[in-house]
Homo-oligomer: A and B are copies of this chain.
Amino acid sequence: MDISDKGILLVLSGPAGSGKGTIVKNILERDNMIRLSVSATTRAPRPGEIDGVHYSFVSSQKFEEMIASDEMLEHTRYCGNYYGTPREHVNKMLESGISVILEIELEGAMNIRRLCPDAVLVLLLPPDFKTLENRLRGRHTNTEDDIKNRLERAKTEVSFFDKYDYVVINEDNMYEKAATTVLNILDSERHRTSRNKSIPTDFFG
């Protein structure tokens, strides 16, 4: 008898500048039983974005068909475009024991909270608001308006703190530590009694 071999659905959310991308990359390098879910979107690819890697780029008609046939685990509309998580691919991975990370925005995270009670929600934060601002200003591609919008949005995201299960602080130059914590959360969650309800029976089998 061993603990559940079902994968965990883990939502990693956090403000722009929290370092989600770096953390996810490090996690995937360190554990090959964890994958990143590729979101579907109707927005146009940006330079360098690859279909099926960064997003699945689909037409609005196709996206709406997928909603209608309940193929989206969650979806949201943002700046005139659809973003969503195709259900089938995620479920297949979870069933085969692979944990799946969804790197999604606040709205998507709250949808998953509502729709998937088994999912684990992690909020990634920089050490403080000032560090967040420094990181956004350090990316010289952001306009002043962008920065202000993102800082405002970060305030909204932090106000949903209580809706998340875990908080992980991503300090400057310490992304491996933050990634280790996310890996520990995944290991820990696999051992929850609520995910292993067959054990009291199997034990005597």
Contacts and interface: CB of A to CB of B under 8 A. Distances in A.
Interface stretch (A101-109, A111-119, A184-192): A184-192
A147 to B, nearest CB: 16
A185 B191 CA distance: 9
A125 B169 contact: no
A48 interface: no
A164 B193 contact: yes
Interface residues of A, number: 35
How many copies of this chain are found per oligomer? 2
Interface string A157-184: 0110110111111000000000001001
Nearest to A166: B191
B200 A169 contact: no
Contacts of A199: 125, 161, 167
A204 interface: yes
B191 A167 contact: yes
Nearest to A129: B204
Contacts of A159: 200
A175 to B, nearest CB: 15
Contact of A188 (B125, B129, B164, B166): B166
State the 5 A-B residue pairs at the shortest beta-carbon distance, nearest first.
Answer: A188-B188, A184-B184, A161-B200, A166-B191, A184-B187
